[in-house]
Chains A and B, each alone.
Chain A
């Protein structure tokens, strides 16, 4: 896989702040990856994510997106490639209908009305919001508002999609739907980066996990590696999902179970149970 984003020794300090929010972060994201950036609030994960699409520019070091340096390339060139879905849908939504909200981005790209129409229809069908075109966004429930913000960003056809805390404020059904949608978009070729601290969501959704704490990357590895690194997670005050804890406790008792999700645990336990 070829790389789409390269973060090279990035240091970041907010204007007027007397501390570094990022301290020497390096990271490469390849095309087609599905990864999570996890960590506590205030640890630097959102700052890192906003450096990935040029919303913030590194104080020191550099970020390359599709070969473009975010410090020197025009912001609209970066934003076209890396779409950012904000945590709070009401910080993103401003149009009076669902259709207009999704059409805003592609219209601004200067696309023809026909192309805009196709993009809007496609983006709404991707997230399952066909039929809601004429709704006022604020009449949608919270889960659908979130889907609408994903559609608005998708309509720009970015190569990379960043989802900032997509499950905050969602109920369990909303969380499952967002997990399904992230995997589906990734299968269709989008590179998906999810900022989250919902460990069950991480276990059920992504392949790679980057753990950020105190402005540094504490660990970067497969979901299985990171969620089983209890000592490192503890340093970041993160509890692994219940299933991962169960498997770990059983291994301590000599029962070899290795699982991240309920479904995996079921298969593993069935193997043991039958033998």
Chain B
């Protein structure tokens, strides 16, 4: 019997006309943003620096507006809770947040990797056996087994970011938000972290991810939201957004090299091929075209 995976189509994140300004900002940094994320979906938020990506992510766990204050309009609902009316302490049990710089995430209080992952669970008063089980699972999931006794500050960048992800996973949030988690890492670190994110995506986690590594993100993001100057200038299925080559370039975002190449070729020759978004698709298209 043929089996297919069917994703549950219930939106777990609903953002409606979100508009926001920090107390100190002259202009609105988010303007009338709307989107939904269903359970098990991955949304990639792309755009130049200063577009509002981080601010948008912080609106999902309540840091915006509860921590920063400012002018706020519209509605953000996550797991049935309206963020504006829900304290951060409550939102943070629903939404796990991974920062760009793993050093911002590490508590600095734990002496070992194991303690760092256990920290949040201890604060929440989980029983010892449950903590043990969850910590072991989270460390194993991100591939840090064997490093439990290390100091978090002795880890490489990629290991430290995977530790940050493990601390979030141990709390089993309903939504995982990641703010450019690979931006500060070397290629090995990027690969390690993107592999963990892809594994989470495939296993049905709900993820909102800001990321510049678009050539990698296309493999696991279901949808994309292109932000520029606080506005959602494109939103939809990943393939649709990533093939809007002109629009992306105009906003200072590079589409995958193979997508850009093929778009240029079509412009020059008028050849009728679909735009590839991955290396494998491009190899297939060009080996047929140039045979």
Q: Which residues of A contact B (CB under 8 A)?
A: 40-42, 141-143, 168-174, 197, 199-200, 237-239, 241-243, 245-246, 249-250, 253, 255, 257, 262, 265-266, 269-270, 272-273
For the A-B complex with A257-B286, A269-B261 known, give 9 more contacts whose Cβ atoms are closer than 8 Å: A41-B157, A171-B212, A243-B257, A245-B279, A246-B257, A249-B279, A253-B283, A273-B271, A273-B289
A40-B186 contact given A246-B279, A266-B261, CB 8 Å threshold? yes
Is B261's CB under 8 angstroms from A243's CB? yes
Is B286's CB under 8 angstroms from A171's CB? no
Please indicate the chain B residues that have their CB under 8 angstroms from the CB of A241 in the complex.
257
Smallest beta-carbon distance B260→chain A, Å: 5
Is A242's CB under 8 angstroms from B215's CB? yes
Is A239's CB under 8 angstroms from B265's CB? no
Is B265's CB under 8 angstroms from A171's CB? no
Q: Which residues of B contact A (CB under 8 A)?
A: 48-50, 156-157, 183-189, 191, 212, 215, 252-254, 256-258, 260-261, 264-265, 268-269, 271, 279, 282-283, 286-287, 289-291
The residue in chain B whose Cβ has the minimal distance to the Cβ of A243 is B257
A253-B287 contact given A40-B188, A169-B183, A239-B187, CB 8 Å threshold? yes
Is A249's CB under 8 angstroms from B283's CB? yes
Please indicate the chain B residues that have their CB under 8 angstroms from the CB of A249 in the complex.
279, 283, 287
A172-B252 contact given A249-B279, A265-B261, CB 8 Å threshold? yes
A266-B264 contact given A197-B187, A243-B258, A273-B269, CB 8 Å threshold? yes
Is A238's CB under 8 angstroms from B187's CB? yes
A269-B187 contact given A141-B49, A246-B258, CB 8 Å threshold? no
The residue in chain A whose Cβ has the minimal distance to the Cβ of B287 is A253
A242-B48 contact given A41-B189, A169-B184, CB 8 Å threshold? no
Among B157, B185, B252, B256, the most chain A Cβ lie within 10 Å of the Cβ of: B252
